Structure 1
Amino acid sequence: MKILGVMAAVAGLALPLQAAQAAEVKVLASTAVKTTLEALAPQFEKATGNKVDLTFAPASVLKEKIEQGTAFDVAILTTPIVDGLAGTGKIDAARTTIAHSGIGVAIKKGALRPDISTKDAFTQALLKANSVGFTAGGATGGYLKTLFEKLGIAEQLKPKLKLLQGGVGEAVTNGEIEIGMTQISEILPHAGAELAGPLPSDLQSWTSFSAGTSVASKEADAATAFIKALTGPDAQAVIKAKGMEPG
């Protein structure tokens, strides 16, 4: 009976000790990696006992929040932004490239799939569409504006071009636009949207996403462990399944 009593006492002490050791990792991440992190975070939580608090927004929005003092443990943003934040002392100098993502063309599920296999076919598809849209701001939006200029169709697209405040997947699903363009990983999750295909290879623009820990993080060990978990073989398989290429 005494032995059982001692074991019960030890078990009782172990529970609060275990709870005290558990960390909550606050992650600020680009919407492009949303579905990837939503799949991988629970695996990390199960394996470590730590919790992951995910906040998603465009990388440029999260950059501003970090600069304004928003607390976080891990930031997963476009690599140039992460590098810039490291340069200003907001993120630790040791950064890890997590994934690369290309731009895709989205249409409403079941709609006639446009031919976008070549530069000329892609150009004609945009000119024939009743409406074309992409999310305002961000690296993708900036690149597409430049691309339309290079293709010589910027003026022709103006009357039917829509700069979206929400997601491209939602916009093609509800009929707001006929053709949308965004990161492939942001198209695949939408049941009402369909990936018509990536941009032609000679027009494609790849965006790199990197992770870094906050220099002010109180959970640096757990934050570092979370980033490491995003680079393992299992994580790489998930990254590919979500429409991205592992870093």
Structure 2
Amino acid sequence: MHALHKTSLATLFLACAALAGTAQAESLNVMTSGGFSAAYQRLGPEYAKLSGDTLTTISGPSMGQAAEAIPNRLARGEHADVVIMVGYALDELIKQGKVDPASRVELADSRIGMSVKAGAPKPSIATDTELKQVLLDAKSVAYSDSASGVYIEKELFKKLGIEAQLKPKSKMIERTPVGSVVAKGDYQLGFQQVAELLPVEGAEFVSKIPEDLQSVTRFAAGIPVNADHPKQAKALLDYLASPAVQPAVQATGLDSVPR
């Protein structure tokens, strides 16, 4: 991962060392959804080195009917020390009394971007007019079955006044990273949260869509009320939200939360 600022790293190390000095190293269960996964995969191992804790990671969607979805896991009685997910889905778990409201931490914002097959031309979509024309000219368009894809299908095309033209040639891709179907050449353009487009080999990220057309997804984290290790969980959340790790967060395509 990107090197952390030395002073900030030292501060984090001392904080973790203090934690380790007051309690033995623990094994934390972390449930995380896809949008923050790339950042967590960079930061989790670093935190484990600093704290001595072991992080066991369980992946699942923030919502939906899938058995792997974080709310469904918790409903079945699965235990977690930390849940990382879309902010409004976390808020629902807080309302249900499953996550401690005082533990909520803002982590990052995720914006929608576009990718094309590796080697294909990268058209400019810097303005609303350019994006509209690129979509009209495209032979096929794919978008995810997450919040970003729902926004594209239900709102973005309408805002651009091209819903009728896009309906026959666009498709919501279920359970599969959009970049992968673009990489295979099945679709000319792919839209998804930037952090989920960047890791896909064979597809190349073009840019984010214009800010006035964005649908920003906030990722947040919290501690379930029945967490086995709430003190260590809080230390992990403080680390993930700290200024020192923001360069690593941003490198995965996410945007830091204004503080």
TM-score class, shorter-chain normalisation, is: 0.7 to 0.9
User: 2:211 pairs with 201, 207, 210, which one?
Assistant: 201
Q: Normalized against structure 1, the TM-score is what?
A: 0.87
Q: Which amino acid aligns with 2:218?
A: S
Matched, 1:168 2:168: no
- Identical-pair percentage: 36
Q: Residue deviations 1:155-200, cap 9 Å, x none?
A: 2112211211200121111112111111111111123221111011
1:216 deviates by: 0.4
CA distance in 2, matches of 1:237, 1:173: 28
1:7 is matched with which residue?
none
Q: Residue deviations 1:39-82, cap 9 Å, x none?
A: 00000111111111122232113233333433211111111111
Q: Normalized against structure 2, the TM-score is what?
A: 0.83
CA distance in 1, matches of 2:242, 2:84: 16
1:64 is matched with which residue?
72
Matched, 1:31 2:20: no
User: 1:241 pairs with 243, 248, 251, which one?
Assistant: 251
Cα pair 2:112 2:191 within 8 Å, conserved: yes
CA distance in 2, matches of 1:122, 1:150: 12
Paired residues, number: 228
CA distance in 2, matches of 1:81, 1:126: 30
Matched, 1:51 2:90: no
Q: Give unpaired runs (5+ residues) of structure 1.
A: 1-17
Matched, 1:132 2:130: no
Alignment of 1:51-200 (within 5 A): 51-60=54-63, 61-94=69-102, 95-136=104-145, 138-145=146-153, 146-165=155-174, 166-200=176-210
Please give the secondary structure, in 1, of the residue aligned with 2:80. Answer: coil
**Structure 1 runs of 4+ off > 4 angstroms?**
none
Which has the higher Rg, Structure 1 or Structure 2?
Answer: 1
CA distance in 1, matches of 2:40, 2:125: 30
RMSD: 1.6
- Which moved further from structure 2: 183-192 or 87-96? 183-192
